[in-house]
Every structure is written in C-alpha cells, then in structure tokens.
Chain A
Amino acid sequence: MAADTPTAAEDMSTVARQGLVDVEHQPGAKKPDPIVVADKVVRKFGGLTAVDVEHLEIQRGVITALIGPNGAGKTTFFNVLTGFDRPDDGKWSFGGKDIQGLSAYQVARLGMVRTFQLTKVLSRLSVIENMLLGATGQSGESIWQAMLRPLWGQQERDNTERADALLKRFQLDAKREDFAGSLSGGQRKLLEVARSLMVEPELVMLDEPMAGVNPALKQSLLGHVKSLREDGMTVFFVEHDMDVVRDISDWVIVMAQGRIISEGPPEAVMSDQRVIDAYLGAHHDAALSVEDEDAILAAAREEIEAAEEQESHG
C-alpha cells in the first residue's frame, strides 16, 4: 500500500475535511465547497410537518452524518432529496444544478445514488446480476439493441469486470452466482452499497447502513464507507448508532421534529445541549434530591386534602 504517497482523490478529501475547520457550528452553516444545497424544503403529511429544513449544505468529499431521534424526518428528507417523494415546497441543487422536480431515476443518473433503510436487493437475481443492473449508460438496456449481443457484448464484459472487482472489494465474490435473496442481512447491505457504486456516483446516500448488521461485519462496512471518501466520493448517511457516527463522520447534522437543530463535528454535536434535549427531553438531567422529592410529595398531598375538603363542604 502506498500510504505515504496519497492519491489525488485522497488529497482532495483531506482538503475537503480541512475546509470544515472554519465552518461555524450552527444549523444551516455555509460550507466552502457544497455539493448539495437545500433551501426551505417542507414536506407535510396532513397536519404533520415531517420535514421543515430552512437551509442545508453538504460539503463535497467528506462523510456527513444525519442523526436525530425516531420520527425526526431523516428518511423523509432523504426521500425528498432523491426524488422518491415530492415536497410541498422547497428547492435544492446537486453540484450546482437545480434538481427539484426530477424523477428518482434522473437524480440517480446525475450521480446522487441512495440505498434504503429496508435493504432492497433483487432477490431472484444473482449477486452479479444485481451488480450489473447498477451500471449506467448500457446500450443493451435499449429495446432496439437488446436482441443483438454484438452491440452490447463488449460493454457487458467491461461492466462485469468492474462488478467483479467491486464484489471482491466487498468480499462478496464467493457469492457471485447465488441469488441475492439467499444472502444474510449484512451481506445484503454490502451488496446494496456495492451495487450503488456501479452507478459511479459522486454522492452516496446511505439510509441506516448499519441497521441489523453484526459487529464483525459492521467493522468491515465502516472501512468500506471510509474508503468511499478516500476514492473522492461524498457520503451522506442516516444512522442511529452513535459509535458509528463518532467513528467515521467528519460532520454531523442533527434533525428533530423535521428541523435541523444542530451541526458540527461529532464531538461538538454530541455535547450540544440542544441535541441532548432533543434525544432525551429537556431538563432530563436535573437531579432530583430527597428534599425535592419530599417537597413534591407534600405539595401533592396538600392538593388532595384541599380537594377532599371541598367535596365534603359541597
């Protein structure tokens, strides 16, 4: 391994990470080189406002985590950004191009590829077929050329080579010919990430990549996510596991009740009072002494007595 001579991509990711040093730790903070910029994105389900994001920027070339308590609107926000859901209002851009209103497949073609919270492998297709489906610009996917193999055979061989290399990297090469439906939960997560790389994305959006993955596989998956950054990709992921978030993310965005309530590097965010309150409820940490407890009980007793007295008078 050429550890002492970093590649251009690694250089870029180092620069990108250094760019975050001067960014203020505030919701909606401006980033030096944003790949995604979202403004006033609102998604309502009836009376419930699931997402209400005033302004958000995602730095290019780094790993950004999106955390928040259950029901904070993280996945809905993901769905809106990737075209899988339509917002009530808002606009957002990817690499400087406005992409609101685009279909999910158009967003993916631009290089913004997502995975799903509930892993979506194509069960009755083999692992290699799953991978090959991810390759873009295949002439054999056109109905007019599909029947004539010479028109797409070479491209298919190139894609297969790339897919095999990725399978090897994700340690799925032994499963190449198996149906994807026969893989374990963790292997499915790996396959989904590997498949998304076949699209050659600039931005990889992972929705809870570690959910249901055993600790051993989790370590290897963590390594894979980090290696995406080394390869020059931007990673934006939703995660509940705080150890994972602390371990791999360069920047953390916290959502609660649809809004972004905090931003910053992992350590800063995790000691942010607003974040702790959002997760645990405000004033959760006010200690209850014996005296306090007695006082509360006494007050309650008085109230009950007063009510009883009133009843006997009445």
Chain B
Amino acid sequence: MDIANQLTLALEQAFGPSAIIICLAAIGLNVHFGYTGLLNFGQAGFMAVAGYGVASIVSTWGFSFWLGLLVGLALTVVLALLLGIPTLRLRADYLAIVTIAAAEIIRFVVGASSLRGYFGGQDGLQQYTGSFFALNPYSSQMGGLGLSWSKADFWIMTVGWGLVVLFSLMIFLLMRSPWGRVLKGIREDEDAVRSLGKNVYAYKMQSLVIGGVIGGFAGFVSGLYQSVQPTNFATDITFFAYTVLLLGGAARVLGPLAGAVIFWFLISFLDNFFSAATSGDNPLIPTALMSHQQASLMRFVFLGVALMLLMIYRPQGIFGDRRELAIDGR
C-alpha cells in the first residue's frame, strides 16, 4: 500500500473544486448561523437555484452564460426574500423548518420528469459551461510540490479560491463594522437589539440574502465541476457545510476555509485508505472483517467519530475562542 500516494491524492482533493464548493457554502452559512444566528438548513436550495439558473438559461433558453450567472444570482436573492418574509418575524426554528423544506421542494422540482425539457430530470444539465472554459489560460496539467490537477480543474480552482478569498475579505470587512455588530447582537438576543432602536427584521433579511448569494456561488462552482444534477444539491451538502463550519469555528472569518480543507482531506484520505486496505488478493484488512463495499462507508464512520471528539475536546472549532463557549446562552 502506497501511503505517500494516498496522501498526495487526498491533498489534491483537499484543495480541489469539491473543497471549494463546500467552503463557499459554509461561508454563506457562517453569515447566517455563525454571525446572525439564523438556522438555515436549506443552503443546498440556494446552491440549486443558482446552479440551475445558469444551466437552464444556457442549455434550455440559449442565452449567454454570463447572463445566466446574473439570473442565477437574482434567483438566490428572490429565494432569500421568499423564505425570509414569512419566517424572519417568527422564532428561529421556523426558518429552519422552512429552509429545509424549500431546499427539498427545489430539488424535487428540478428533478421532476415532467419538467425534463427544462431541467433535464435526474440527469440534470451538462455542457453549458463552454464560455467559462473558453477563458481557461492553462493549456496543460498544473500543480507543484508533487500535486497536480487537470487544466479544467485548475481553472475552476483559480476562480473558486479567488472567490473564497474575495468573500472572506468581504466578511472580514463587514463583521468588523457596526453593521456586523448589529448582526452579532441579533444572534445573542434580538429583543435587546430591538430595544436599542435597530430594525432587526431588515438586518436578518440582509444577512439571509448575503449568505444565500454566497451559497449561490457554491452552486455555480458545483455546476462547473460536476454539471448540475438534483443529487448534487441534496440535504447532505447543507449538513457537510455545517460540519465544515463547526470544524473550522463558527463566526470566524477563516473557519470555513480551514474546515473545508481539513474535511475534504479526511474524507478522501480515509476513502482511499480503506479502499486500498480491502482490495487485492491479500488485503491488509481481512475480508472477514470488512468487505471492499463496506470500506467505502468507513470514512463516514471515522468522520463521525472525529467530529464527536472535536465537539468534546475542542467544541469551539479550530479558530474558535474557548472563552465564548464558557458563557452560557443567557
């Protein structure tokens, strides 16, 4: 078994497009949950409307890719408003219920066979990204330090990590401002903030829109990397994004970034390791203990254990401040 090779593969994944998708989704959730205390369980829905927005504008209606991006972003704003208007005046739990339901509704609608003509059913939409890859400056495999990526992936990574840096900078600037202070105040106690003359509803709406739009960019990258399909926007991606956020530390600018890299490194390393350890004529782990098929699920078992250990020994995440957790909710 070649551990060095597996580490290389895992590192390529940790910095590859998959990590970018989850990182952008988590940055959006950080605005919602980390800073404002909004429980958005439907980040996958924001990703889906953006991803399908651009894909269907190009594939179904034949307009340009760039117009599609604008339409996709407009759709995430509309979705945020639709979800926020009825629920943001209510207790936090209602937003959680509505967002998770909305994300599922969107996934089933775009996957419906009766709408196959518009959204391609379960197969989704492909080959709409020509305009993006036409701009690819790379002509061959790229990489360094023993790592390498295809030229398409490297182009996605260039733009994707650029977006991550851009949004992280934006979050940093926003959250050190008085505006960010109001959001953090709302997270702690919205009635107190209201009693000081702040329009809490408007701030929550702004937060929902901004986090949703950043989630929309995760949807764009997902579409560029994998094509848009209903399965790419299932509920699990929302919860992976939460995992990434808690791993890195909520309400920390660099939390989602570190979380995403570590998460994908662990996921792919464990996958490769157990796959290799159970294959071949004389596997490292005897077939009596674990079959090759079972091995592919082992990564989630270990990830779960790792998360539990994290919550026990470092509940604030990597960048979190332990003092914050010492304070109870009151």
Interface string of B216-246 (1 = CB under 8 A from A): 0000000000000000000000000000000
A108-B195, A147-B173 known; A140+B184 contact, CB < 8 A: no
A272 proximal to B (CB < 8 A): no
A195-B196 in contact (CB<8A): yes
- Chain B residues within an 8 Å CB radius of A105: 194, 196-200
- Chain B residues within an 8 Å CB radius of A113: 195-197
Complex CA gap A9/B181 in Å reads: 33
A105-B197, A108-B197 known; A122+B178 contact, CB < 8 A: no
CB distance from B169 to the nearest CB of A (A): 9
Complex CA gap A123/B324 in Å reads: 8
CB distance from A94 to the nearest CB of B (A): 13
Most buried by A among B174, B196, B210, B324: B196
Complex CA gap A105/B197 in Å reads: 4
B191-A84 in contact (CB<8A): yes
B184-A125 in contact (CB<8A): yes
A147-B189 in contact (CB<8A): no
B134 proximal to A (CB < 8 A): no
B329-A121 in contact (CB<8A): no
B188-A146 in contact (CB<8A): no
A199-B178 in contact (CB<8A): no
B191-A198 in contact (CB<8A): no
Tell me the chain A residues, 101-129 only, with Cβ under 8 Å from chain B: 103-106, 108-109, 113-116, 120-125, 129
B184-A122 in contact (CB<8A): yes
A124-B194 in contact (CB<8A): no
A142 nearest in chain B by CB position: B179
- Tell me how many residue pairs across A and B have CB atoms closer than 8 Å: 117
B324-A122 in contact (CB<8A): no
B185 proximal to A (CB < 8 A): yes
Selecting from A24-32, A131-139, A291-299, the interface stretch reads A131-139
Complex CA gap A134/B182 in Å reads: 10
A122-B323 in contact (CB<8A): no
A82-B327 in contact (CB<8A): no
Complex CA gap A281/B198 in Å reads: 43
A149 proximal to B (CB < 8 A): yes
B194 nearest in chain A by CB position: A104
A122-B177 in contact (CB<8A): no
Number of A interface residues in the complex (CB < 8 A) = 41
Complex CA gap A142/B206 in Å reads: 10
- Chain A residues within an 8 Å CB radius of B199: 103, 105
- Chain B residues within an 8 Å CB radius of A231: none
B2 proximal to A (CB < 8 A): no
A114 nearest in chain B by CB position: B195
A120-B191 in contact (CB<8A): yes
B179-A141 in contact (CB<8A): yes
B interface residue numbers (CB < 8 A to A): 170, 173-174, 176-182, 184-185, 187-189, 191-200, 206, 210, 323-324, 326-330
**Interface CB pairs A-B, < 8 A, 14:** A105-B197, A113-B196, A123-B189, A125-B184, A132-B181, A140-B177, A141-B178, A148-B173, A149-B177, A152-B178, A156-B178, A179-B324, A179-B327, A196-B195
The 5 A-B residue pairs with the shortest CB-CB distance, nearest first, are A181-B327, A146-B179, A140-B178, A108-B197, A120-B192
Q: A123-B328, A198-B196 are in contact. List 17 more A-B contacts (CB 8 A).
A: A84-B191, A103-B199, A108-B195, A114-B195, A115-B195, A122-B185, A122-B193, A123-B330, A124-B188, A132-B181, A133-B196, A136-B196, A146-B179, A147-B177, A148-B173, A149-B177, A181-B330
